[in-house]
Structure 1
């Protein structure tokens, strides 16, 4: 199974809260990685994104945290910093070190007690669970409470999740890890078919949100910031900081291929990029861009295909596998 951990120097860990559907995920680069970011959605929840600007000083990132819990989930990054510091990982400054840990969150407060959300202890636990093994996919970590296809109401939505994929060419690997909590549908780019998203009135078939909106079907009132797809694109190629920023940007092409609509006013879509340089060589950005978009699109698909149905707090959400079983 291909995953972001196929990229040398990358480890992934999840924390899943058993009390309600929420959690967080951490991507660790123990030796540091050149970082970039592109915040494309209009309702983001992020931390430490400004320092990733190509014009700013710090280049090395030591971890990225993806979390549920809306803005509350940003606290998970503090726990990741504590774990990294305890393990001697971080930017050396004077007599101590400062781990550089950017983060992004998604909204998953629809179900259960909203005071239960990922905190610093959750981020610490995700780090403690990190490994080089392919990460678990579906309803775990930051994807635990993810939901897709909410434009026509929660009662017609489906379960989202977290997924990962990688692509290798010319001795270079590009991997992606995506937590998909999109407002829109998830599409298989190879067929153009909806895999998960808004369901028809009877709840037994997929609607196709794009077609429904174009013909004028009225959507439900949408809570601002209540969606968002977040993730990390990583490569073992040698990249400069501006190139890492570009890799994050082109990764959004993969979101646009696999999610429709994407980057809405109600999504906070954010992608981070990490370049570990472990391959010891660069690769032209045109090829890297194609690889990044493909890895992101495949990770989105795997996020919903690995998800399982949810029946919690009065809300029943089927998963893509439930519809596939009927075909």
Structure 2
């Protein structure tokens, strides 16, 4: 991943998931506390797949995406904060899709349209008032906001309450968010939208530098979680499921259902390039993959796999680089740019 790929104006890797033909993205962000949800809409439906790698996932409608199961296409994917409570936001997404006449026809009578909306959630209940979490109205609002415009990144939608670097406690953590990026080869695009709420640190694969993660006890520097653990520093007891990186990979290349699942699988290689440690017992890492087929051709699945890995890694970097610091009564979680600014003062 060459450093020159970063846009010098924004400091982010270029492109977003909406560069993929047939894909729209919308966020809904709460004002009462940092949480929200994000929806990826495929109005014309898309072949779907999923791969759950983390040991503490929170998901909905993932079984239907197995290649051996009947339904091949889905209409939207929801990413949400709020832990398991946030799964309720998918009901609002279904309601909006029904209002638009989008869904699987299961009969001729009114009401026999079923939108298919797989979903995954992340844990952000420790940031602000845990009684505020995304529900059906939030999911509906995210759909209303959905468009094909470039995706807003940082502390919005499902990334509003995301944090990283929690191996040594929340007091040493940093703010994260949701990021997006895309890669185009031979007229075919693969994009990723990733909400990074990882236990581990976020690494720039271009140079191995830690961008955000666990800070030293004085909060002034990054300690490097893997390095600290290997040096014998003890981690704190961590609630299972209190972290998770969730996201969507999409392409406009044609995919079979088996290929969609495989694309989700190799997308986790992008997480491994950008997050350390990843797929821990306290993370519920889940990636979905969608294929709209609107490009009409493919550069070959191996090329798509490389593109997906790259897009996911870049989106993870963007998630922390676009995030702003958060100060609450419970503490101060700086963003990556806050820490960089402090170093140069």
Q: What is the TM-score when the length of structure 2 is the normalising length?
A: 0.94
* Corresponding residue for residue 24 of structure 1: 37
Is 2:118 the counterpart of 1:124? Answer: no
Q: Name which of 189, 197, 208 aligns with 2:205.
A: 189
Is 2:153 the counterpart of 1:137? Answer: yes
Instruction: Specify the SS of the correspondent of 1:164.
Output: strand
* Corresponding residue for residue 285 of structure 2: 269
* Corresponding residue for residue 103 of structure 1: 119
* Corresponding residue for residue 297 of structure 1: 313
Q: Name which of 181, 197, 200 aligns with 2:216.
A: 200
Check conservation: 2:154, 2:179, Cα contact below 8 A: yes
The Cα of 1:111 is off from its aligned counterpart by: 2.4
Is 2:55 the counterpart of 1:42? Answer: yes
The Cα of 1:282 is off from its aligned counterpart by: 2.5
The Cα of 1:161 is off from its aligned counterpart by: 0.2
Task: Judge which range, 314-323 or 28-37, deviates more.
Answer: 314-323
Check conservation: 2:190, 2:307, Cα contact below 8 A: yes
Separation of aligned partners in 2, 1:111 and 1:159:
10
* Corresponding residue for residue 236 of structure 2: 220
Give 1:50-69 correspondences, 5 Å limit.
50-69=63-82
The Cα of 1:129 is off from its aligned counterpart by: 0.3
The Cα of 1:113 is off from its aligned counterpart by: 2.0
Check conservation: 2:50, 2:261, Cα contact below 8 A: yes
Check conservation: 1:111, 1:313, Cα contact below 8 A: no
The Cα of 1:89 is off from its aligned counterpart by: 0.4
Separation of aligned partners in 2, 1:220 and 1:287:
41
Separation of aligned partners in 2, 1:2 and 1:126:
21
The Cα of 1:201 is off from its aligned counterpart by: 1.3
Separation of aligned partners in 2, 1:73 and 1:296:
23
Q: Structure 2: where are the runs of 5+ without partners?
A: 1-13
* Corresponding residue for residue 247 of structure 1: 263
* Corresponding residue for residue 157 of structure 1: 173
* Corresponding residue for residue 76 of structure 1: 89
Q: Name which of 283, 297, 309 aligns with 2:325.
A: 309
The Cα of 1:281 is off from its aligned counterpart by: 1.2
Is 2:181 the counterpart of 1:168? Answer: no
The Cα of 1:110 is off from its aligned counterpart by: 0.4
Instruction: Specify the SS of the correspondent of 2:211.
Output: strand
Instruction: Specify the SS of the correspondent of 1:84.
Output: helix
Is 2:339 the counterpart of 1:323? Answer: yes
Instruction: Specify the SS of the correspondent of 1:64.
Output: strand
Instruction: Specify the SS of the correspondent of 2:238.
Output: coil
Q: Structure 1: where are the runs of 5+ without partners?
A: none
* Corresponding residue for residue 9 of structure 2: none
* Corresponding residue for residue 15 of structure 1: 28
The Cα of 1:202 is off from its aligned counterpart by: 1.3
Separation of aligned partners in 2, 1:199 and 1:60:
43
Check conservation: 2:185, 2:299, Cα contact below 8 A: no
Instruction: Specify the SS of the correspondent of 2:146.
Output: coil
Total equivalences in the alignment:
327
Q: What is the TM-score when the length of structure 1 is the normalising length?
A: 0.99
* Corresponding residue for residue 113 of structure 1: 129
Separation of aligned partners in 2, 1:68 and 1:201:
28
Instruction: Specify the SS of the correspondent of 1:274.
Output: strand
The Cα of 1:315 is off from its aligned counterpart by: 1.6
Instruction: Specify the SS of the correspondent of 2:96.
Output: helix
The Cα of 1:69 is off from its aligned counterpart by: 0.3
Separation of aligned partners in 2, 1:9 and 1:3:
13
Separation of aligned partners in 2, 1:307 and 1:98:
36
Separation of aligned partners in 1, 2:59 and 2:301:
26
